[in-house]
Amino acid sequence: MIYPLELKTRLENELEIILSPLGLRLHGLVLPGKSGGVVKVFVDHPEGVGLDQLETVSRRISDLLDVLDPFPGTYRLEVSSPGLDRVLRVPEDLSIHIGKHIKVKTKESLEGQRVFRGTIDNISDGNLMLVSAEGKKSFRHPIPLNVIAEARAEFWLDSVPGNTRDSEQAPDPTN
């Protein structure tokens, strides 16, 4: 089922009104594909989202959807955090994750590859600067934001002490 962009935009705006006073932000919204489908709402907070927060938000969103009645037929509501290995919105989420490990898939080949893993160094002039380490060598990859197909956090790399892909342990690529 295809919904008009206006419906999704309206729901996103209404959800922001619910989430903002709770210190949360909308990370994503997936509308149901058919009657009986699932409405997925992903909420986030810089320090993570707790179960009590998800329960509160879920009740408020359910009430909102009952009033708006935006979907024909039945649907299920799922409210969750985007998870640790979350898809990052470009460019909004990238600046929040500077210094963190990510995996980037590009729409076209850059430097002979389409998948990059590394640590976000900075974002400037429409480019994401990703630093990766291979053994004792460090590489800098400027990736234009407009060719990023998907960026995903790799939390597990940030939590592993002494991982070999840590740019802080790799030599400085400018030397």
- List, in order, residues 6 or more apart from 61 with CB less than 8 Å away: 15, 18, 41, 77, 79
Per-residue confidence (pLDDT) for residue 174, from 0 to 100: 45
Give the chain's length. 175
Average pLDDT, the chain: 86
Q: Mean of the pLDDT values across residues 9-28?
A: 95
pLDDT band at 162 (very low <50, low <70, confident <90, very high): low
pLDDT category at 169 given cuts 50, 70, 90 is very low
Q: Return the higher-pLDDT residue of 172 and 91.
A: 91
Residue 46 has a pLDDT of 81
Confidence check: pLDDT of 158 > 70: no
3-class SS of residue 18: helix
Segment 32-41 mean pLDDT: 88
At residue 78 the predicted structure's pLDDT band, cuts being 50, 70 and 90, is very high
CA 86/CA 44 separation, integer angstroms: 11
Mean pLDDT calculated for residue range 26-47: 90
- For the stretch 96-152, pLDDT in tens is 889 999 999 999 999 899 999 999 999 999 999 999 988 889 999 999 999 999 999
CATH class belonging to 87-159: mainly beta
* pLDDT confidence band for 173 (50 / 70 / 90): very low
- Closest C-alpha to 26, from 110, 66, 82: 82
Q: What is the pLDDT of residue 167?
A: 41
Percentage, residues of the chain above pLDDT 70:
87
Question: Measuring CA to CA, which residue among 79, 89, 96 is closest to residue 42?
Answer: 79
Task: Report the DSSP beta bridge partners of residue 150.
Answer: 105
Q: How do the domains of the chain map onto residue ranges? A: 5-80, 87-159
Between CA 70 and CA 29 the distance in angstroms is: 14
Burial of 112 (0-12, 13-18, 19+ CB in 10 A): exposed
Q: How far is CA 55 from CA 52, 74, 152, in A?
A: 5, 21, 26
| Domain 5-80 CATH (choose: 3.40.228.10, 3.30.300.70, 3.40.50.280, 1.20.990.10) | 3.30.300.70
